[in-house]
Amino acid sequence: MPRSFSSSVLLLLSAIVAACSGGCASSGSTSARADASSRTTVAAITEQDLRTRLYIFADDSMEGRAAGTPGHERGLRYITGELMRLRITPRGDSGYYQRVPIVRFGGSADTMWSHNVVAIIEGSDPTLRAQYVALGAHSDHVGITRRTVEHDSVRAFNRAIWEAQGRDANARGVTPAQRSAIRIALDSLRALRAPRRDSINNGADDDGSGSMALLEIAEAFATARVKPKRSLLLVWHTGEEVGLNGSEWFMDHPTVPREAIVAQINLDMIGRGTAADVAGGGEDYLTVLGPRRLSSEYDAWVRAVNAKQPLPFALDYQFDADGHPQQFYCRSDHYHYARYGVPIAFFFTSIHEDYHQVTDEPQYIAYPKYTRVTQFLRDLAAYVADQPSRPAIDRPLPDPNGRCRQ
């Protein structure tokens, strides 16, 4: 006989709480910080490097990296310090920084200021080096919650809700009866371990994963003996979480000629997507949006590079459908490149139960898969940079001043 929903939830929450009964280290724990900061990185893109970088960047000391806050600026100093160590050329308005006004959704009487971080790795071809393949991620997240919560209870509750929805980003929610059953089951389990208070949205996957992958890719290219033919434009955008402010500002006020940007690759939430995270997920699951919206040739390049990977990804285009209700095409920084006619490819590993929660911490990242995704995007950037011609535009160009339409 099938188990009742309530008993199934109780078993699920028991497993989650039992898994943490020995103590689940948070991203800000002393041991995690010491383990990460004691290691230096190497030229190759490795799982250990990504783990090291992410535990630093998504540490509690960054205070959730809300755009323009001291915690966010600390995160930017880590990035710029690494760029300086690697001797990567700055290309902001002032060194690596481009000053950006932060106007939150709906406008604000007071303008905050933050920074994009911009750098270039110069290409090797005397002619093509004047063109750029842009790679971007967003460095900001959503900051600190207004009230302190109990970390493990929040994760157990959100996990149970996510399972009840079938681990489906398109699901509409759970019934009141299911929500009540989850709360009752959780109350019966809270006595199994001491509470762990938390108020920091660490943003390990969103978008610590993209930001640190971009830094690893930068190190790989900067230390390579042979550089790609075109130059690489590296941009860590600010303000993505409050209205795509940094990418909009950068493309309205580019620090390289806008027409010289031949393509853009956007890395946003690329550290999860396992079978436990999302329906249909797994080690080969990777979502892609956008390349075929302006250039069928660029889309063919994405597929060709993927096919040459040691373990190719099963590229999922479902969220790229016209009119898709999630509107992911309009929700990340690539859009502001596309509105100016730059072919884009946006990669992510889908929404999960820790999205915009205090539980989006480095301990929950799928590091082997995260490493493979990062290596694939390195290979894609190199492939595009070495093509004799830029990707051909064969779709209608959007209105740069119009509203985004998926």
**Tens digits of per-residue pLDDT, 38-54?**
468 999 999 999 999 99
| Rg, Å, the chain Cα set | 21
- What residues contact 268, with CB distance under 8 A and at least 6 apart? 137, 138, 206, 207, 210, 240, 332, 333, 346, 347, 348
DSSP string over 26-66: -TT-HHHHHHHHT----SS--HHHHHHHHHHHTSGGGGGGB
Q: Which residue has the higher pLDDT, 85 or 9?
A: 85
99: tokens are 């000053």
In whole angstroms, give the CA distance from residue 50 to residue 181.
38
Beta bridge partners of 98: 116
- What residues contact 403, with CB distance under 8 A and at least 6 apart? none
DSSP letter assigned to residue 398? P
Peptide bond into 316 cis (omega under 30): no
Residue 7 in this model has a pLDDT that exceeds 50? no
> What pTM was computed for the model?
0.89
What percentage of the chain carries pLDDT values higher than 90? 75
Q: What pLDDT, on the 0 to 100 scale, is given for residue 165?
A: 81
Residue 62 in this model has a pLDDT that exceeds 90? yes
Q: What pLDDT, on the 0 to 100 scale, is given for residue 217?
A: 98
**pLDDT tens digits for 311-322?**
999 999 999 999
Q: What average pLDDT does the chain have?
A: 88
Q: pLDDT band at residue 109, thresholds of 50, 70 and 90?
A: low
Let me know: does 390 contact 131? Beta carbons within 8 Å. Answer: yes
Which of 348, 353, 377, 357 has the alpha carbon at shortest distance from 271?
A: 348
DSSP letter assigned to residue 236? E
- What residues contact 159, with CB distance under 8 A and at least 6 apart? 12, 13, 16, 353
In whole angstroms, give the CA distance from residue 215 to residue 394.
32
198 half-sphere exposure, CB direction, 13 A CA radius: 26
Q: For residue 312, give Cα distances in angstroms to 4, 375, 386.
A: 39, 11, 21
Beta bridge partners of 237: 138
**pLDDT tens digits for 230-252?**
999 999 999 999 999 999 999 99
In whole angstroms, give the CA distance from residue 405 to residue 335.
10
The three-point CA angle 336-340-341 to 5° equals 115
Amino acid making up residue 346: F
Q: For residue 299, give Cα distances in angstroms to 288, 304, 309, 344.
A: 10, 9, 16, 9
Beta bridge partners of 20: none
In whole angstroms, give the CA distance from residue 361 to residue 365.
7
List Cβ<8 Å contacts ≥24 apart for 185-189: 185/6, 185/9, 185/10, 185/13, 185/160, 186/13, 186/153, 186/156, 186/157, 186/160, 188/10, 189/10, 189/13, 189/14, 189/17, 189/156
Q: How far is CA 358 from the centre of its chain?
A: 16
Residue 390 in this model has a pLDDT that exceeds 50? yes
